[in-house]
Amino acid sequence: MARPPSVDQLARSLDHHDLPHPILVEIARKAIAEDRLDDVEGIARERKRAMLTPVVNATGVLLHTNLGRAPLEVDVASGYSNLELSLDTGQRGSRQRAVGDLLASACGAEAAMVVNNCAGAVLLTLAALGHGRGVAVSRGEMVEIGGGFRIPDVMNQSGARLVEVGTTNRSRLADYRRAVDQDEDLAMVLKVHRSNYQIVGFTEEVSVQALASLDVPTVADIGSGLLDAACPWLDGPPPKWLADEPAAKQTLQQGADLVLFSGDKLFGGPQAGIIAGRRDLVEQCGRHPLARALRPGDLVLQVLQTVTLAYLDRRGTDIPLWRMVARTEADLQARADAICERLQDSNAEVRSTPTEAVPGGGTLPTVTFPSHGLEIPGDISEQLRAGPRPIIGRVEQGRTILDLRTVDPEDDDTVVDVLAGLARDSDHGDRGRNGSR
Ligand SMILES: *Cc1c(COP(=O)(O)O)cnc(C)c1O
């Protein structure tokens, strides 16, 4: 039997991968244990590619959960902050105060607080207001959001008792009223936005306005995080595709006692869950022990503050999500044409093409809006992911589509470089210019 190579020697031969030595040692051990010495470079590349890295989102999905949902653009202070210190008194303060107050102003609520995500906001609200009591939910709204988040299961975890109302396709105010009258201890009505599916045909549901006439608090999980249906932070009118999306401000105006929403969907911020509405209820949530377990960190709060200030200042263009929404087709087409022109001498087979973008993030399942991008024959998605700055596109009917609506214009250079590089590779390789069809 040949002597295995020294782990240390092998690890040192991988130095150029720019990974910490202990990780290189793990890679070397794995190559030896699995008898993959020939492939040790491949193992190191795999390991490196498993790390977090910026990517270019050319999928046309604005809020792509696999790509971190809303894109962020922030400078965060890296040193200490007054996270839980009142600069006025020098005493301990609340980490919820600063951003909570801004968020409350932004959505017209008495108070607001922030937790880890909207799933956490639902769990905390149910636990704090509904533990050991009944919570009425329409049978048409017992949703699964994705990632195993199912309303009946979350209800169970919170210690609240699910009180089912109405039927899958139709729930009426009388159904809720019966629940209020018949249940010995109903804590609230929970209205859950059907974010990622629709019920069509013979249907009926009850508005927040009508639910607010009941004798128990109405809590609305709107999920998507649209702040204000009027979108005053945009130059023009609100996009038509947002017409049916519930907004935090209007839901509160219609009489919801609390709204719950995500920070990283249509709010365009970092991963967070926001609870906004009546002060006494928000404070009740804040006092529950789960609030401590679900509390956000300094980084998240700083970013959320930046985004909330942009909303209050009506600076929609400072929020990357709304910049992407506001891009015109003409502008996107001009960028696509320019990219094609720059690639003319490269032998890259690329065409400018109309496309359809979608909101994503489990919101607005049937909405698409016109966009523009690039079309490349064949499926080159793997090659596009392989470079140091991975580009994530989509493959449709044997073509690779790069939708420019979700691509920052500053990344157009990357797109040109990567496509030119792939064309060069295929010129030199066995996949000639026509072989890629
Ligand atoms: C997305 C969504 C959630 C979960 O939000 P996260 O921030 O991802 O935890 C909860 N409820 C509704 C209605 C949603 O759309």
Neighbouring-strand partners of residue 261: 223, 274
| Residue nearest (by alpha carbon) to ligand 1 atom 5 | 118
Q: How far out from the chain centre does Cα 314 lie?
A: 22
pLDDT attached to residue 1: 56
Residue 52 sits at φ, ψ, to 5 deg, of -70, 135
Residue 417 Cα to ligand 1 middle (Å): 37
Q: How far is the CA of 252 from the centre of ligand 1 (A)?
A: 18
Pairwise CA distance, residues 114 & 300, whole Å: 10
CA–CA separation, 35 and 14 (whole Å):
17
| Residue nearest atom 13 in ligand 1 by C-alpha distance | 223
| pLDDT given at position 429 | 62
Give the C-alpha separation, 167 to 175, whole Å. Answer: 9
What is the enclosing helix (H) or strand (E) of 259? strand 258-262
- Cα–Cα distance list, 170 to 174, 193, 204, 307 (Å): 11, 15, 4, 38
Residue identifier of the C-alpha nearest atom 15 of ligand 1: 223
Predicted local distance difference test score (pLDDT) of residue 260: 98
Cβ < 6 A, ligand 1 pocket: 117-119, 122, 145, 149, 192-193, 195, 221, 223-224, 262, 273, 362
> Ligand 1: which atom is nearest the Cα of residue 273?
7
Q: Can you list the positions of beta strands (E) in 263-320?
A: 273-277
pTM of the model: 0.94
**Among protein residues, the one whose CA lies closest to atom 2 of ligand 1:** 223
Atom of ligand 1 nearest to the CA of 264: 7
Amino acid identity for residue 221 in this structure: D
Q: How many angstroms separate the alpha carbon of residue 388 from the centre of ligand 1?
A: 32
In the sheet where 258-262 sits, what is the strand order? Answer: 111-115, 273-277, 258-262, 218-223, 186-192, 134-138, 161-165
- Residue-by-residue pLDDT tens, the chain, 437 positions: 566 679 999 999 999 999 999 999 999 999 999 999 999 999 999 999 999 999 999 999 999 999 999 999 888 877 899 999 999 999 999 999 999 999 999 999 999 999 999 999 999 999 999 999 999 999 999 988 877 789 999 999 999 999 999 999 999 999 999 999 999 999 999 999 988 888 889 999 999 999 999 999 999 999 999 999 999 999 999 999 898 899 999 999 999 999 999 999 999 999 999 999 999 999 999 999 999 999 999 999 999 999 999 999 999 999 999 999 999 999 999 999 999 999 999 989 999 999 999 998 777 778 899 999 999 999 999 999 998 899 999 999 999 999 999 999 999 999 999 999 999 988 776 444 444 43
Q: What is the model's pLDDT at position 327?
A: 95
Strands 61-63 and 351-360 turn out to be parallel
Which token pair is 8?
């240390």
pLDDT attached to residue 437: 35
Residue (of 118, 71, 108, 112) closest to 312 by Cα position: 108
